């Protein structure tokens, strides 16, 4: 097996030799080869990941389906690829933007789901025309990795695409690499002297590497996924089914629902629906699971069903230092154990206050039985969730990227733009006569039309309202004073 330095040197030589850019069909050939490799070996790949994580193989069958959709989107984009249309610029020119490859791209997969967070980023980096090194923390003995190593040479260009299993944070060197993407999972929190909020375990391990501007960390579980049962018409069985399908053992840990918030008067209806949909399962009774139940009961929770705990927020003993600390303790316990927390609140506003008060970030907020559009917009305006889902729970949570990505790139979970760099192209003919001041001013004279006057009855500012009120009161007082003077004058005239 080649050492890390040898892989980097070979990848650098490949990039300098123009392997990926020399053949216009190189990207299509590699993406189609990746497609064939996964399809021809999917039984082995799926069973290996399912056995390692002790989950149903159907979960990783879905991951293969997501991956194929990713490939299809990249391939379709390459077939349609053309130079972008010129855009008017503030600098009196026109410009267009093109994607350029970064060069040697290193992808580090430090999570178990190597289909979504290994092969899918590999496809995106290939679509960006990079030379790619896929490094995994899983060792060569891992059945998934063994299959990839065995099949890699048959389907992919081994002069430009490299697989490096058993990668460690200390292996990574910045020299020779143009772009580093690390996909890690939040687990234990580590705090250092220079960090206010701390780093999750994966990010802490790669702290030295992440000091370089070339390196980017993408957390695959960057916060809680929470659902709120709204004020619309409720089909409790449908809601219970939606919740169960997105929690406990029905989802991979990075996509799992953490908690459901609902009003106290709806708790029993939801409990009955859960029991009806979730029949035939046994509650915790021994082992480490019993310890989770004991800790949750100490926090004021009750066990509803297998992997489901109920917390009545009104009865929770809140520490004086931070009102949401008790809730956060419960959420962290249920998240770590793969359980679901059902929180009963007095109102939707209380639920939003509690969610916004959590110190950990919010990956998704889903509104079930949302009701009117007005209610939905109100909730959306008060949440900072990365994903806001209306009517159902989003079952695939894309990682949060460090840099802004154009909206049109979100046809993919991993758009090629995160593995490329923009290039601005401007064009202007030589010998153009210099523009004089009147001509320049004429170009922008009517660019911004004047603001339309505010109609009557429109919302006005507070101080303007106060000003109008004082003027109105002044007019009324003046009229009353004038009336009083006039009446007094008339009364004096009538005296003998």
In this structure, the answer to whether residues 213 and 271 fall within a common structural domain is no
Q: What pLDDT is attached to residue 260?
A: 93
Question: How much is the average pLDDT of 170-191?
Answer: 75
Q: What is the pLDDT of residue 90?
A: 53
Same domain, 235 and 215: no
Residue 292: pLDDT band with limits 50, 70, 90: confident
- pLDDT, residue 168, reads 86
Six token digits for residue 490:
């008339």
Confirm whether 10 is domain-assigned. yes
Q: Residue written as tokens 């979730």?
A: 278
CATH code where residue 134 lies: 3.40.605.10
Q: What angle do CA 47, 411, 112 make, to 5 degrees?
A: 25
Query: Cα 331–337–341 angle (5° rounding)?
Result: 40
Give the per-residue pLDDT at 288.
Answer: 43
Strand ranges in 117-176 using DSSP code E only, listed in sequence order = 131-136, 161-164
Q: Would you state the pLDDT for residue 335? A: 80
Do 300 and 385 reside in the same domain of the chain? yes
Considering the domain architecture, whether residues 232 and 353 belong to the same structural domain is answered as: yes
Read off the pLDDT of each residue in 403-408 and give the average, rounded to a whole number.
48
Q: What is the pLDDT of residues 32-66, one digit of tens each?
A: 999 999 999 999 999 999 998 888 888 899 999 99
Beta bridge mates, 265: none
12 shares its domain with 153: yes
Please tell me the total number of residues recorded for the chain in this structure: 496
Q: Which of 396, 142, 392, 367 is nearest to 254 (CA)?
A: 396
What pLDDT, in 10s, does the model give residues 378-394?
888 888 888 888 888 88
458 lies in a domain?
no
Q: Are 216 and 324 part of one and the same domain?
A: no
**Bridge-based pairing state of the strands 362-368 and 224-229:** parallel
Percent of the chain at pLDDT > 90 equals 25
Do residues 310 and 344 lie in contact, with contact meaning Cβ atoms separated by under 8 Å? yes
Residues 185 and 246 in one domain: no
* Contact assessment for residue 30 and residue 82, using Cβ atoms and an 8 Å cutoff: no
100 sits in which H/E element: strand 94-101
**Does 266 share its domain with 290?**
yes
- Residues 6 or more apart whose Cβ sits within 8 Å of residue 206: 108, 169, 172, 182, 184, 215, 217
Alpha-carbon Rg of the chain, whole angstroms? Answer: 31
Lowest mean pLDDT among 64-68, 122-126, 249-253, 277-281: 277-281
pLDDT at residue 400 in the model = 57
Q: What is the CATH number of the domain that holds 275?
A: 3.40.309.10
User: Which tens digits make up the pLDDT trace of 206-241?
Assistant: 888 888 899 988 877 667 889 999 887 888 999 988
pLDDT interval class at 196 (50, 70, 90): very low
- Which helix (H) or strand (E) segment holds residue 66: the answer is helix 57-80
Residues 276, 353, single domain; the answer is yes
Based on the fold, state whether residues 413 and 336 are members of the same structural domain.
Answer: no
CA–CA gap between residue 92 and residue 107 (Å, rounded): 40
pLDDT of amino acid 152: 95
443 within a domain of the structure (yes/no): no
Q: Which residue has 């001041």 as its token pair? A: 437
- Least-confidence region, from 56-70, 140-154, 333-347: 333-347
204 part of a folded domain: yes
Question: Distance between terminal CA atoms of the chain?
Answer: 125
What pLDDT sits at residue 404? 46
Domain span at residue 75? 4-221+400-426
Nearest Cα neighbor of 112 from 221, 215, 203, 1 is 221
C-alpha–C-alpha distance, residues 167 and 170, integer Å: 8
Percent of the chain with pLDDT over 70: 80
pLDDT band of residue 453 (cuts 50, 70, 90) is: confident
pLDDT tens digits along 348-372: 888 998 888 888 778 889 999 887 7
Predicted local distance difference test score (pLDDT) of residue 83: 55
- Tell me the average pLDDT of the chain: 80
The answer to whether residue 324 is domain-embedded is yes
The whole-model pTM stands at 0.76
Domain count, the chain: 2
In a domain, 214, yes or no: yes
Identify whether residues 166 and 271 lie together within a single domain. no
What does the pLDDT look like over 113-145, one tens digit per residue? 899 999 999 999 999 999 999 999 888 889 999
Whether 233 and 244 map to the same domain: the answer is: yes
The answer as to whether 273 is a domain residue is yes
Give the CA angle between residues 384, 221, 216 to the nearest 5°.
90
Residues 43-72 as b/e (b if ≥16 CB within 10 A, e otherwise) read ebbbebbbeeeebeeebbebbbeebeebbe
* Element spanning 130, H or E: none
Backbone angles phi, psi at 466, to 5 degrees: -60, -40
Cα distances (Å, whole numbers) of residue 124 to 390, 406, 467: 29, 15, 59
Name which of 221, 254, 231, 258 is nearest 243 in CA terms. Answer: 258
Residue 132 lies in a domain: yes
Confidence of residue 11 (pLDDT cuts 50, 70, 90): very high
């Amino acid at each position: 097996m080649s050492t890390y330095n040898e892989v980097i040197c070979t990848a650098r030589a490949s990039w300098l030799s123009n392997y990926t850019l020399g053949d216009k069909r190189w990207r299509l050939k590699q993406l189609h080869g990746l497609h064939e490799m996964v399809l021809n070996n999917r039984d082995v790949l799926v069973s290996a990941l399912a056995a390692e994580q002790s989950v149903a193989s159907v979960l990783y069958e879905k991951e293969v389906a997501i991956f194929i959709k990713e490939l299809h989107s990249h391939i379709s984009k390459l077939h349609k690829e053309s130079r972008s249309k010129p855009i008017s610029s503030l600098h009196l020119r026109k410009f267009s933007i093109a994607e350029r490859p970064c060069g040697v791209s290193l992808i580090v997969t430090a999570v178990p789901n190597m289909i979504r967070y290994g092969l899918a980023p590999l496809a995106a980096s290939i679509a960006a025309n990079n030379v790619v090194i896929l490094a995994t923390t899983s060792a060569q003995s891992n059945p998934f990795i063994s299959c990839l190593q065995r099949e890699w040479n048959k389907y992919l260009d081994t002069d430009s695409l490299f697989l490096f299993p058993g990668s460690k944070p200390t292996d990574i060197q910045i020299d020779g690499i143009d772009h580093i993407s690390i996909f890690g999972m939040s687990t234990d929190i580590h705090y250092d002297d220079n960090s206010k909020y701390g780093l999750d375990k994966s990010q802490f391990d790669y702290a030295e590497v992440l000091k370089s501007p070339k390196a980017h960390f993408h957390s695959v579980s960057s916060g809680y996924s929470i659902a709120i049962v709204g004020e619309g018409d409720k089909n409790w069985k449908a809601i219970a089914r939606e919740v169960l399908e997105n929690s406990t053992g029905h989802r991979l840990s990075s996509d799992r629902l953490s908690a459901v918030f609902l009003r106290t008067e709806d708790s029993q209806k939801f409990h009955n629906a859960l029991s009806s949909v979730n029949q035939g399962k046994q509650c915790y009774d021994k082992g480490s699971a019993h310890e989770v139940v004991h800790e949750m009961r100490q926090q004021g929770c009750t066990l509803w069903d297998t992997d489901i705990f109920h917390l009545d927020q009104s009865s929770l003993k809140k520490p004086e230092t931070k009102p949401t600390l008790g809730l956060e303790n419960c959420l962290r316990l249920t998240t770590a154990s793969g359980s679901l927390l059902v929180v009963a609140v007095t109102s939707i506003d209380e639920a939003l206050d509690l969610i916004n008060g959590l110190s950990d970030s919010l990956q998704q907020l889903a509104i079930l039985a949302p009701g009117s559009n007005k209610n939905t917009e109100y909730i959306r305006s008060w949440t900072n969730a990365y994903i806001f889902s209306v009517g159902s729970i989003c079952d695939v949570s894309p990682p949060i990227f460090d840099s802004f990505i154009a909206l049109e790139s979100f046809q993919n979970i991993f758009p090629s733009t995160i593995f490329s760099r923009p290039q601005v192209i401007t064009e202007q003919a030589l010998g153009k006569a210099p523009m004089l001041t009147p001509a320049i001013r004429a170009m922008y004279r009517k660019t911004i039309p004047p603001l339309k006057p505010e109609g009557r009855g429109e919302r006005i500012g507070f101080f303007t309202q106060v000003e109008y009120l004082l003027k109105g009161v002044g007019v009324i007082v003046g009229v009353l004073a004038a009336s009083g003077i006039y009446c007094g004058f008339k009364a004096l005239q009538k005296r003998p």
